[in-house]
Structure 1
């Protein structure tokens, strides 16, 4: 794979992960939250609207690279002209996450299975609090919660998990309809013929991801009246045999 092709795949992965990183309302304001939810809805319909700048020759080269990646089965294109948008195919997602590297769907599958089991244990299909998924009550140590985010991210991007935040900045996860259907099938095997981890790709991904999360706080919805209301901190489901306190 040529360097320019790898750079574009890394960029699409980073922008996708930024979009689907769970919302914590103690970090992202109401206006940005509304914009994030709006863009997520648009992503499911058409993917990412990829801005391509530079001189005309640079833009033409970028378009050729995009078409090449589509032909290779790594990108899916939608729309035409300036409205053209992109998203990673399943193969493209595995490919990009392998050389960045971040966790792939097959490496996160056990989380999907765990949340599915907990839905039955809790007697609900609603979002389950991250601490309950992890089985911890230490609210001061953020490390396990961030590790859970990393594990959930490829599943969130694929639409197999969904996340929501509460008024205290906590996050809950639930298995989507697509996720339940996926669980009825065999666990995906590790993909074959994937690229080796690339330190430069990892560095670039981290730069784009960190910058993207910062920029996300300043996103604004195209519909000023659109409001996202966080979940109440006391509304998370409890195990059926355990009273809520």
Structure 2
């Protein structure tokens, strides 16, 4: 009960802080992409600091963090892995649903960070425009993040890796860095309770450009799932227990 109450206060106050930081940084964000990135990283770091003493979660990033133009194919368990990956990378941008652009506060910052909004069935056109904008100097290069399972997946739950990641990998012609995580053990995708422990995001060895599609997807899934399962076990959760 005590942990639930602490979690309730924590969750409520981070949404208040999102509004406060979002509004305070808005003029800077409108004028500068650096302002938008500063706001999002400031908010994320505030969440990491407050969750440590309020609910007992420590954030840890492992592995070599990429700095150049690469595709990031990550496992997605909760809002926490979004913040951890974004804060670790120098110039992150996300593949996201177009509806998010109309979300108060978040939509403004998504636009300024040059995230790539996609409509169902029209991802190819959106990626093509992004590549053209970077080549023409209208957009800054960076690390493009896609969640290969397409949604948040709870620890221990199996979900397929979608072919869209392989299509994007082929279109970009860039190396792909897989990312494993165990954050859902401590910060679940649904509900209020937050559990103490070390939430980890781990950048894994890059996969070179030019792999055949089926081989790429098979290697990506095997790499991310195997390492994520190991991280979950490290956090005290057996991903095989609920299967």
TM over 0.5: no
Structure with higher strand content: 2
TM-score normalised to structure 1 length: 0.29
TM-score calculated relative to the size of structure 2: 0.29
User: Which structure has the bigger radius of gyration?
Assistant: 1
